[in-house]
């Protein structure tokens, strides 16, 4: 993707992959999957007025509902965080490894998956996952849904690395962060990196049905002649080279809602934190990608003040991404002042749209 432009309509996410699939050939990317769902005691915390373990189960249920049934998949679903003395008892085998049946997998998960009282046992879950997948044939996707709890009964990073060394290119690790822990996000990003493929994501970005559908398609389905694996065939892709994990529209372009500011201010509104966290996750999953952050203003005030304010806005966003784990060498912040309006400055609504951030690859 050469250029990433933010769009100004909140409905942008609704177009993600809405037209994909009609008349397009696709091929299954994986033969097997294992879904690991964190239900440890740490997940009992509240986030956005819901318990984190409920959010994790809800995301898992909707992922299972969207996994394609037109391919012959083998799968398993494990809950980890069980209080037990023996390692083998620290995971709940909700669905043993076998032929994927959507109705059966969903029913078993909804009936059996429960919050647990023990510490994280992701290390045990990854060890069992490796054991199961080493006996399977073909390529495998491992999806981890967690708050990124760093207190584990073992060493998850070591287990992930051993699995990757053993299975090589036949396994990829995908992670979904529940909550907003920066340490947890960094930990899950590192697990993804150890997988060498896959990408990190956040539960906040899987709130709508279309978002989940887009996410699952990126993992499980690859269009024939789709070099960047975004689900849009190369011949129709207007933005080739899309970053791994970036949600795309029907053109194959990464679209984001605008990040806007109050008049004369450069502080980031909390409503944009999740969006910036998602950008950071995608950047961290694509270590060679660089972005230019452009700050803009409306026409109120002098040219000099607006130039300074636009730079402050761009720097505020850059510092947020740095704090979320993106290396500063991959970010460039510039101010454009009032020189590039996207709407008329004659109305309050137009001015509000012009007080914005845009991203360029």
Q: pLDDT tens for residues 305-314?
A: 999 999 999 9
Burial (0-12, 13-18, 19+ Cβ within 10 Å), 8: middle
Q: What tokens does 96 get?
A: 């043993």
Among the residue ranges 1-5, 34-38, 240-244, the one predicted with the least confidence is: 1-5
pLDDT at 249 over 80: no
* CA atoms within 13 A of residue 9's CA, in its CB half-sphere: 5
- Of 106, 95, 102, nearest to 73 by C-alpha is 102
pLDDT in the model for residue 18: 34
* CA atoms within 13 A of residue 81's CA, in its CB half-sphere: 26
pLDDT in the model for residue 60: 96
pLDDT in the model for residue 72: 83
SS3 state at 154 = coil
Q: pLDDT tens for residues 58-69?
A: 999 999 999 988
pLDDT in the model for residue 3: 41
Is residue 163 a contact partner of residue 126, using CB atoms and an 8 Å limit? yes
pLDDT at 27 over 80: no
Q: What share of the chain is helix, strand, coil (3-state, %, to 5)?
A: 40, 20, 40
pLDDT in the model for residue 280: 86
Cα 22 to the center of its chain, rounded Å: 25
Class of domain 26-223: alpha beta
Q: pLDDT tens for residues 170-207?
A: 999 999 999 988 888 889 988 988 888 888 888 887 87
Fold of 258-360: 60s Ribosomal Protein L30; Chain: A; (3.30.1330)
Q: Look over the chain and give the mean of its residue pLDDT values, rounded to a whole number.
A: 84
pLDDT in the model for residue 149: 82
- What is the pTM (predicted TM-score) of this model? 0.66
pLDDT at 144 over 70: yes
DSSP secondary structure letters along 87-133:
GGGSEEEEEEEEE--HHHHHHHHHHH-----SPB-HHHHHHHHHHHH
pLDDT in the model for residue 229: 66
Q: CA-CA distance, 107 to 208, in Å (whole number)?
A: 21
Place 267 in a pLDDT band, splitting at 50, 70 and 90: very high
- Of 198, 170, 34, nearest to 100 by C-alpha is 34
DSSP H or E segment with residue 223? strand 221-223
pLDDT in the model for residue 170: 93
Place 85 in a pLDDT band, splitting at 50, 70 and 90: confident
> Which residue ranges make up each domain of the chain?
26-223, 258-360
Place 2 in a pLDDT band, splitting at 50, 70 and 90: very low
Mean pLDDT over 92-109 rounds to: 93
pLDDT in the model for residue 137: 93
pLDDT in the model for residue 28: 58
Is residue 218 a contact partner of residue 231, using CB atoms and an 8 Å limit? yes
The dihedral sign for the CA sequence 122, 273, 182, 290: positive
Torsion of CA 227, 62, 176, 14, to 10 degrees: 60
- Of 133, 61, 73, 143, nearest to 103 by C-alpha is 61
- Token look-up 């033969």 returns 31
């Amino acid at each position: 993707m050469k250029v990433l432009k933010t769009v100004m309509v909140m409905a942008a996410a609704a177009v993600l992959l809405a037209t994909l699939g009609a008349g397009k050939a696709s091929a299954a990317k994986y033969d097997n999957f294992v879904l690991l769902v964190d239900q440890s005691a740490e997940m009992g915390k509240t986030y956005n007025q819901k318990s984190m373990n409920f959010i994790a189960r809800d995301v898992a249920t909707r992922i299972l509902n969207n996994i394609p049934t037109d391919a012959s998949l083998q799968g398993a679903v494990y809950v980890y965080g069980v209080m037990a003395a023996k390692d083998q008892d620290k995971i709940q085998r909700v669905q043993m490894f076998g032929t994927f049946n959507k109705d059966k997998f969903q029913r078993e998960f909804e009936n059996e998956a429960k919050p647990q009282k023990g510490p994280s046992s992701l290390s045990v879950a990854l060890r069992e996952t490796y054991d199961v997948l080493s006996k399977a044939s073909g390529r495998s996707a491992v999806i981890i849904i967690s708050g990124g709890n760093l207190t584990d009964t073992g060493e998850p990073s070591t287990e992930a690395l051993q699995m990757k060394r053993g299975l090589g290119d036949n396994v990829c690790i995908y992670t979904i962060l529940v909550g907003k822990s920066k340490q947890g996000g960094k930990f899950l990003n590192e697990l993804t990196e150890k997988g060498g493929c896959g990408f990190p994501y956040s539960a906040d970005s899987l709130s709508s049905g279309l978002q989940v559908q887009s996410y699952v398609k990126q993992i499980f389905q690859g269009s024939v002649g789709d070099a960047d694996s975004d689900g849009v065939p190369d011949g129709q892709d207007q933005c080739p080279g899309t970053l791994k994990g970036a949600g795309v529209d029907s053109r194959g372009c990464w679209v984001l809602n605008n990040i806007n500011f109050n008049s004369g201010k450069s502080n980031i509104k909390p409503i944009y934190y999740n969006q910036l966290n998602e950008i950071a996750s995608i950047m961290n999953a694509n270590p060679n990608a660089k972005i230019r952050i452009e700050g803009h203003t409306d026409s109120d005030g002098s040219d000099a003040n607006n130039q300074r304010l636009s730079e402050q806005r761009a720097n505020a966003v850059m510092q947020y991404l740095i704090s979320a784990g993106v290396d500063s060498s991959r970010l460039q912040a510039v101010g454009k002042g009032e020189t590039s309006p996207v709407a008329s400055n004659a109305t309050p609504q137009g001015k509000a749209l012009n007080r914005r951030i845009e991203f360029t690859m």
